Structure 1
């Protein structure tokens, strides 16, 4: 009897704990779906039936007249923003309130998350301050390997690089359960690692490359050289974004660069290069396969430009392929690699035009996938039309609607790099091959319901490549 009583008390306590925040949006007059105890509005994502992007997209279309919509991920109140003007304030104008991505516990951060994408606050600002040197990647990167190792991924399906890439983005029931525990009991499970299974591999990989180069920059001018130089320059010093003195001036912040931080940057650089560029390129090829008239125009431009440069695929040649660039941007509009963006409120913020405030710790989500396929901003969004990105035709008001690389101070620092390597890859393929849909393949890729921040598709995108007989 005592045991049954204890079970009942525990269940009642869990119920009250699992619903304690559910009045948050109601008290602020923000529309939202009724949350489920413990799971909030995120049950289908926890059960791996819908990806986070799919869940957010459904919310976006369910409330077409609302500028913002409330959401609960387990107990955490989150705000889905639909209005581009509010998005602009979140990402840019009022950035000082939203400089965190909200992907880490504030006090405890696992080693691989101490990178430019996941981290926030002073660590983010100082890392960005130094790693902005990435802007030097122009001509050299097209011919250089980012890590100075021969990945041999195209020839070897079992290469260590492919294995690592697959492990980074593998989301299974165990991963989801750990994520759920961290969201339901953030303080209790703050030290639970999400990337512990690859941490040792990434650190060993860094040490291997550094040892090969005798811990000195090489002539490769690649990402590892950048990391070596970053460490050799020593402690990063700059103005704090988090702390101010009695006079309201920013205090001085410092960050010591050790191998752990270097490994974290290597991890996120590799992860971004492995999945985001490849998925965007694959999506573009799929659309070209289903839109042969566009494919012909792209190939005509590639042929014309390469002939001008003695058939050499160089940086200058890629820069001249403007229609190819429009096509790739249209591919990223159809299916952006990151289906949503996140920003965490760092102190109380008031939406004066909506007459409510949110508190520190509330996560703001920007539904990129939904925005970029909304006919209000892109007429006939199901039509693949690269001309949308002709500067003379593009709508300047869509700056905070079209967001494949983010926007504002926390926009992707690798945008230029990612764009160039993807365009070079597409040009190399389309200069030699025609692409068409594989027999029986679906018109639109089937999204993986277990996908995380980066969208992925089930079974890849099957296409048929046929060698071109002659230029167009």
Structure 2
């Protein structure tokens, strides 16, 4: 009798799960929205992490349906989502009707996992309050304030780079088997941006340029290379965040959490005790704490914002710089023109690197923007619908709680927007060319009230690094350079599969 009842219960449970999954995976079919048939558990992302990088499913989907509808139905594993095709609709959701799409829908747990309660993840009034508090710290004036700190690290970077080039050149000369001096630049660039962000966000001399195994570098890398949970679990947490919080589920590794919280506490306590003032982000956060103590700007808030500043700054900027140097190695005429512009700027400023001088490098900025088009590190934007949303000029309604995907990479590779989109061409970002395109056709930093708050710093950091490198070295391809470059199939952010090897010649 017991076995019979148990069998009935199991059959009933199996039937309920089957009905739930059937209803979930026929969501777009029942609404008459263009879509591809999903696979069990993985939705439309079955090949992600196996045979394709994350950008590919969205790019393929966009190209398949962009001329058939303003948006399409997609399955983020088990979550129904919408992929936008029409740029006017993108503009509506990111800007015009932002009030209905202010959240990204990321899982976070401030109580058990304080580092996850940062600006990128926060939702509701807490996000708006935090954004308002932090916005003044990323003005052009504040960038000028931090400029000398970045240049100081960049000078150290050039010194380390020169030593490495000379060492490799001597080794090759002794071996007499090649005239090339091949350097793996991806790791070096990550060490540079780690030291920049570590200094600006935490006020610490990380010294990862000279010591690649420094604890700061290892802890930062661990966040990207060792996810606490797999793709399915992360999808479930994003779909059912309240359940995750009730179960006290953390995303941050315990040792990473302990390290960054300790560093922030010790830094804040030392600076407040000794009255230390520095040209960095941590100083600005401490000032916020002083002026907002009654509003609850806590040490956990400081740690979370410094943490995301570090993560967003070192990985995205170093990857973009790596891709940029790769393209410059393939396009020597572009590299030569950029170097000439840098030398002309230095002549105007008597050989000194100044904030004003860096901002005058318009061609290098075009190179940077074209790199971000070809290699959008965050290849899509996420938004979550608060209330039912009637889609303009259609009979469709996006239901409350639905995830919205803006396929940044796919838009950047749309041949109707960018002819010959796989070709590296900085002239696309000449002012008159930008004017010809829709304002939503280039979105590496997002757009609207929830765009990347640190975009000015990210651009400044990358441009300074590129200026220093191009002024001291020439980059060409080598036998070890991967052409065309392949992308990592397991990363959520766009990243090369392995290192980026270039031949480097000291000027």
TM-score above 0.5, yes or no: yes
Matches within 5 A, 1:294-305: 294-305=334-345
Give the equivalent residue in structure 1 for 2:430: 390
1:138 lines up with 2:143 in the alignment: yes
Please name the residue that 2:31 is paired with: 28
**Native 8 Å contact 1:74 1:184 kept in 2:** no
Instruction: Give, in angstroms, the shift of residue 188 of structure 1.
Output: 3.8
* 1:149 counterpart residue number: 204
Aligned residues: 448
Equivalent position of 1:348 in the other structure: 388
Correspondence for 2:14 among 11, 22, 38: 11
Does the residue aligned with 1:219 lie in a helix, a strand or coil? coil
Q: Report the Cα distance in structure 2 between the residues aligned to 1:429 and 1:320, rounded to whole angstroms.
A: 17
Q: Report whether the alignment pairs 1:59 with 2:61.
A: yes
Name the CA shift for 1:189/1:127 in 2 (closer, same or farther; >3 Å): closer
The Cα shift of 1:186 comes to 5.0
* Residues 237 and 244 in structure 2, CA contact (< 8 A), matched pair in contact too: yes
Instruction: Report which stretch shifted further, 199-208 or 367-376.
Output: 199-208
Q: Is the 8 A contact 2:228 2:251 kept in 1?
A: no
TM-score, length-scaled by structure 1: 0.89
Name which of 255, 267, 281 aligns with 1:209: 267
Give the conservation status (yes or no) of the 8 Å contact 1:337–1:455.
Answer: yes
Q: Alpha carbons of 1:50 and 1:464: their partners in 2 closer, same or farther (altered >3 Å)?
A: same
1:28-57 deviation digits (Å, cap 9, x = unpaired): 321111123333223333x55444333222
Could you tell me the TM-score, scaled by structure 2's length? 0.83
Residue in 2 aligned with 1:170?
225
Displacement, 1:93? Answer: 0.5
Question: In the alignment, which residue of structure 2 is the partner of 1:220?
Answer: 278
Classify the secondary structure of the residue corresponding to 1:431: helix
Distance 1:183 1:319 in 2: 40
Aligned residues of 2:326 and 2:502 also touching (Cα < 8 A): yes
Look up the SS of the partner of 2:225 in the other structure. coil
Give how far 1:130 is off. Answer: 1.0
Residue number among 97, 101, 108 corresponding to 1:98 in the alignment: 101
Q: Please, which moves more after superposition, 296-305 or 208-217? A: 208-217
Paired residues of 2:101 and 2:384 also in contact (CA < 8 A): yes
Of 284, 288, 292, 2:324 maps to 284
| Matching residue within 340, 345, 355 for 1:315 | 355
The reply on whether 1:229 has 2:295 as its aligned counterpart is no
Q: 1:189 aligns with which of 218, 227, 244?
A: 244
The correspondence of residues 33-112 of structure 1 with structure 2, limited to 5 A, is 33-45=36-48, 48-65=50-67, 66-104=69-107, 110-112=113-115
Q: Which residue of 2 aligns with 1:251?
A: none
Please report the RMSD computed on the Cα atoms of aligned residues, expressed in angstroms: 2.3
Partner of 2:400: 360
Q: 1:233 to 1:431 in 2, by over 3 A?
A: same
Q: What is the Cα deviation at residue 172 of structure 1? A: 4.9
Please tell me whether the aligned partners of residues 139 and 314 of structure 1 are also in contact (alpha carbons under 8 angstroms): no
**Is the partner of 1:137 in helix, strand or coil?**
helix
More helix by share: 2
Structure 1 residue ranges without an equivalent (≥5): 237-254
